[in-house]
Every structure is written in structure tokens, then in C-alpha cells.
């Protein structure tokens, strides 16, 4: 070895780290620094109660839409196995998801999507912050970026799990990634229905942000162009779903109806164009 040359740093032993920290970790998800990078360790938790599916359940019951019925799972090791499988499948399709670096029946480790030491913001947070600051054009741009991210997933022939804007995450390099795959809608629904479900979740989580930003009318103008790029079977399911939501147009724009109703009403207004 030449004088002054430093030996290459050994690659982190992710499996050893996972085995060491899983038994000691008290929270379901925790962040660690390993070498020069940050990783997240997610461990199995107790069985899930149905409150986790409240938003999906509200949408399904209000709209009478089977595509929105929650896809519950027992949690625990089953959820861990499902998420690891889905993350690996989506990564194999070239989609941006957290990289699984080690896995066990009780949990797994994945790389941090953001820059070390910095939080990786969700599109939900970014759109809301822009809306609060009165940045109409930025809010619209971010919303369209989310639609483009959904299109990328659907063009790959797959779907997300719960495609709310909170589960679309900004990576350190500026790309949008996808998280939260503890359930798999494609195991109980046809793919076109799963993809429509993605769209409805995204619209539900962003409609009121667009209203606050003053970008709602512009978003409605962009929607038909995006829809025209979708697969024919998905368009048919979405059009039928939107038709069944038509009664929502008769609801008053009244905050006393509750935020869930407002979100559903806003989502319909976006979809109806």
C-alpha cells in the first residue's frame, strides 16, 4: 500500500445491526446512524385496530365504492413480510422506494430517503406549506408532480397501498418516492380498481390544499389531460366511480359538515372536471 493511502472503509453490516437493535427497540419505527448514512428499522407491532383505516372506511361508506374498502391485515409479522415483499417488488420495477438493506421475520432495515440529518418531507407537507404561503403556482406544480408520480407507478403495471399525499416523499435528490406498504390491495381487487383507488386517495388528501392555495380551478383544467394518459380499463372504472359520486355536487360547501365530507366533496369536484 502506498504511503498515505487509507484502507477502504468496511461496508456496514446491516444484518448485524438489525439483529442487535430489534430486540431493544421500543418504538415501531426508529432512525439510526450507521457509518455515513441513516437507516430506519421497522419492527413488528401489535395487531392493528381498524382506526388505521378510518379515512378509507369513511370514503367507502360515503361513496358506496368497493374500490375504497379498507384492506385490513393482522399487523405483526404479516405486515412486515408484506411490506418487505412490496418494497422489493416495486424496486425491481424501477420505482423509487426505500431500499431494504436487511430483513428478518420481526422487522427490517431500510435506507433513509432524505439527506442524512434532514427530514424527508411528504408532498402533503410541501403542498400545504406552499398553500399557507399563498404560493399558488408552486402548490399546483407540486400537485401535478404527485399525479406524475402516480402515473409512473401505473405505467409500471402496479399500484400503491394508500396513495395519500403523506405517503409520497421527497428524496434527497429531489425525486418523489413512495412509502407505507403494509397492505396490498392487488391481492383482493383487480389492478384497474387498485389504480383508481390510488387516484381517489390522492385527490382526497390534496383537494382542500388546492382550495387554500387558490389553485383548485387550475388543477381541474389539468385533470382531463392526465386522465387521457391512463389505461383504458382504469379510465372506465374511474368514470363509473365518478358517476356514482355525482350526488356530492348537491352538498353545501359548509364546514359544519366536517373535514371528511369537505375532502370527499373536493375530490369529486376535481375528478368531475
Query: Does 1 score more than 50 pLDDT?
Result: no
Per-residue confidence (pLDDT) for residue 252, from 0 to 100: 66
Query: Does 167 score more than 60 pLDDT?
Result: yes
* Domain boundaries, given as residue ranges, for the chain: 14-49+72-111, 123-272
Q: 6 pLDDT band (50/70/90 cuts)?
A: low
Q: Which CATH number fits domain 14-49+72-111: 3.60.110.10, 1.10.645.10, 3.90.1150.10, 3.30.200.20?
A: 3.30.200.20
Task: Round to whole Å and give the CA distance between 34 and 29.
Answer: 16
Query: Does 261 score more than 50 pLDDT?
Result: yes
What cell numbers appear for 30 in the block? 426508529
pLDDT more than 90, % of the chain: 64
The chain-wide mean pLDDT, for the chain, equals 87
Per-residue confidence (pLDDT) for residue 272, from 0 to 100: 86
Query: Does 105 score more than 70 pLDDT?
Result: yes
Per-residue confidence (pLDDT) for residue 68, from 0 to 100: 65
The neighbour count for residue 88, using CB atoms within 10 Å, is 13
Q: 64 pLDDT band (50/70/90 cuts)?
A: low
Find all residues with CB under 8 Å of 272, minimum gap 6, and list them.
Answer: 242, 245, 246, 249
Query: Does 194 score more than 80 pLDDT?
Result: yes
Per-residue confidence (pLDDT) for residue 48, from 0 to 100: 57
Higher pLDDT, 215 or 259: 215
Query: Does 3 score more than 50 pLDDT?
Result: yes
Average pLDDT over residues 254-259: 63
Query: Does 203 score more than 90 pLDDT?
Result: yes
Query: Does 259 score more than 90 pLDDT?
Result: no
Query: Does 70 score more than 70 pLDDT?
Result: no
Per-residue confidence (pLDDT) for residue 244, from 0 to 100: 83
Q: Are 35 and 12 in contact (CB under 8 A)?
A: yes
Q: 254 pLDDT band (50/70/90 cuts)?
A: low
Q: Are 270 and 260 in contact (CB under 8 A)?
A: no
Higher pLDDT, 65 or 216: 216
Helix (H) or strand (E) holding 37: strand 37-43
pLDDT digits (tens, 9 = 90+) for 10-59: 678 999 999 999 999 999 999 999 988 999 999 998 765 555 556 556 66
Among candidate residues 257, 159, 167, 246, the one with its CA nearest the CA of residue 205? 167
Per-residue confidence (pLDDT) for residue 131, from 0 to 100: 97
Amino acid at each position: 500500500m502506498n504511503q498515505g493511502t487509507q484502507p477502504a472503509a468496511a461496508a456496514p453490516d446491516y444484518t448485524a445491526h438489525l439483529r442487535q437493535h430489534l430486540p431493544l427497540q421500543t418504538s415501531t419505527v426508529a432512525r439510526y446512524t450507521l457509518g455515513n448514512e441513516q437507516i430506519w428499522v421497522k419492527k413488528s407491532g401489535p395487531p392493528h385496530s381498524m382506526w388505521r383505516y378510518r379515512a378509507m372506511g369513511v370514503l367507502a361508506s360515503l361513496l358506496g365504492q368497493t374500490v375504497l374498502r379498507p384492506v385490513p391485515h393482522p399487523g405483526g409479522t404479516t405486515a412486515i413480510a408484506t411490506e418487505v415483499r412490496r418494497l422489493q417488488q416495486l424496486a425491481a420495477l424501477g420505482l423509487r422506494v426505500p431500499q431494504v438493506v436487511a430483513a428478518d421475520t420481526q422487522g427490517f432495515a431500510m435506507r433513509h430517503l432524505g439527506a442524512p440529518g434532514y427530514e424527508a418531507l411528504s408532498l402533503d407537507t410541501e403542498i400545504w406549506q406552499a398553500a399557507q404561503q399563498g404560493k399558488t403556482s408552486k402548490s399546483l406544480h407540486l400537485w401535478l408532480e404527485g399525479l406524475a408520480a402516480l402515473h409512473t407507478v401505473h405505467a409500471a403495471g402496479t399500484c400503491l397501498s394508500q396513495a395519500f399525499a403523506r405517503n409520497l416523499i421527497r428524496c434527497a435528490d429531489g425525486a418523489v418516492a413512495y412509502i407505507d406498504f403494509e397492505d396490498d390491495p392487488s391481492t383482493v381487487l383487480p389492478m384497474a380498481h387498485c389504480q383508481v383507488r390510488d387516484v381517489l386517495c390522492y385527490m382526497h388528501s390534496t383537494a382542500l390544499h388546492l382550495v387554500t392555495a387558490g389553485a383548485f380551478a387550475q388543477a381541474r383544467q389539468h385533470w382531463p389531460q392526465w386522465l387521457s394518459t391512463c389505461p383504458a380499463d382504469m379510465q372506465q372504472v374511474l368514470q363509473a366511480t365518478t358517476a356514482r359520486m355525482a350526488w356530492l355536487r348537491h352538498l353545501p360547501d359548509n364546514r359544519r359538515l366536517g373535514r371528511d365530507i369537505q375532502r370527499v366533496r373536493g375530490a369529486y369536484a376535481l375528478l368531475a372536471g
